[in-house]
Structure 1
Amino acid sequence: MSQLPLRRVLQSALLSTIVGAASVQAQDYPPAIQKLEQQGVEVIDSFKAPGGMTGYVGKMRGRSLAFYLTPDGDHVIVGTLMDKDGNNLSQASIQDLVMGPKFENAWPQLEDSHWVRDGDKNADITIYTFTDPNCPYCHRFRQQAEPWINAGKVQLRHIMVGILAEDSLTKAATILGSENPEAALAEHQNSYEQGGITVDRERVSAAHLEVKANNRLMQELGLQATPSTLYRDENGSVTMVQGLPNPQALKRMMGPRP
Structure 2
Amino acid sequence: MAFRIALLSATLASLYATTSVHADAWPAPVQALVEQGLEIHGEFEAPSGLTGYAASHQGREMTVYLTADGNHAIAGSLIDAEGNDVGEAALDELVRQPQEEKVWQQLEASHWIADGRDDAPRVLYTFTDPNCPYCHRFWEATRPWVEAGDVQLRHIMVGILQQDSPAKAASLLGAEDPEAALREHNGGDEIAPAAQPRDIEDQVFRNNQLFEELGFYATPTTVYYRDERLDRVAGMPDEERLREMMGDEAP
TM-score with structure 1 setting the length: 0.59
User: Match for residue 66 of structure 1?
Assistant: 61
Letter in 2 for 1:254: M
User: Match for residue 247 of structure 2?
Assistant: 255
Q: Is the 8 A contact 2:38 2:56 kept in 1?
A: yes
Q: Tell me, in whole angstroms, the C-alpha distance in 2 between the residues paired with 1:35 and 1:249.
A: 45
Letter in 1 for 2:234: G
Q: Tell me, in whole angstroms, the C-alpha distance in 1 between the residues paired with 2:36 and 2:90.
A: 22
Letter in 2 for 1:163: I
Q: Per the alignment, do residues 77 and 167 of structure 1 end up closer, same or farther by CA in structure 2, a change over 3 Å counting?
A: farther
User: Match for residue 166 of structure 1?
Assistant: 163
Q: Is the 8 A contact 2:65 2:74 kept in 1?
A: yes
User: Match for residue 116 of structure 2?
Assistant: 119
User: Match for residue 230 of structure 2?
Assistant: 239
What displacement does 1:103 show? 4.5
Q: Can you give the 5+ residue segments of structure 1 that lack an aligned partner in the other structure?
A: 1-5, 7-24
What displacement does 1:69 show? 4.8
Q: Is the 8 A contact 2:52 2:66 kept in 1?
A: yes
Number of aligned positions between the proteins = 215
Q: Is the 8 A contact 1:118 1:149 kept in 2?
A: yes
- Answering whether residue 42 of structure 2 is matched by residue 56 of structure 1, we say no
User: Match for residue 155 of structure 1?
Assistant: 152
Q: Can you give the 5+ residue segments of structure 2 that lack an aligned partner in the other structure?
A: 1-8, 10-23
Alpha-carbon deviations, 1:123-160, whole Å to 9, x = none?
Answer: 22122223233445544543553332233210101111
Q: CA RMSD in A?
A: 4.5
What displacement does 1:112 show? 4.7
Q: Tell me, in whole angstroms, the C-alpha distance in 2 between the residues paired with 1:108 and 1:69.
A: 29
Q: SS at the partner of 2:142?
A: helix
Q: Is the 8 A contact 1:228 1:240 kept in 2?
A: no
Letter in 1 for 2:37: G
- Answering whether residue 179 of structure 2 is matched by residue 182 of structure 1, we say yes
Q: Per the alignment, do residues 74 and 232 of structure 1 end up closer, same or farther by CA in structure 2, a change over 3 Å counting?
A: closer
What displacement does 1:173 show? 1.0
Percent identity, please: 39
Q: Is the 8 A contact 2:64 2:74 kept in 1?
A: yes
Q: SS at the partner of 1:186?
A: helix
Describe how 1:13-162 pairs up with structure 2 within 5 A.
Answer: 26-28=25-27, 31=29, 34=31, 36-45=33-42, 56-60=54-58, 63=59, 65-69=60-64, 75-77=74-76, 96-105=93-102, 107=104, 110-135=107-132, 138-162=135-159
Q: Tell me, in whole angstroms, the C-alpha distance in 1 between the residues paired with 2:187 and 2:92.
A: 35
Q: Is the 8 A contact 2:45 2:52 kept in 1?
A: yes
Q: Is the 8 A contact 1:49 1:55 kept in 2?
A: no
Q: Per the alignment, do residues 231 and 205 of structure 1 end up closer, same or farther by CA in structure 2, a change over 3 Å counting?
A: same
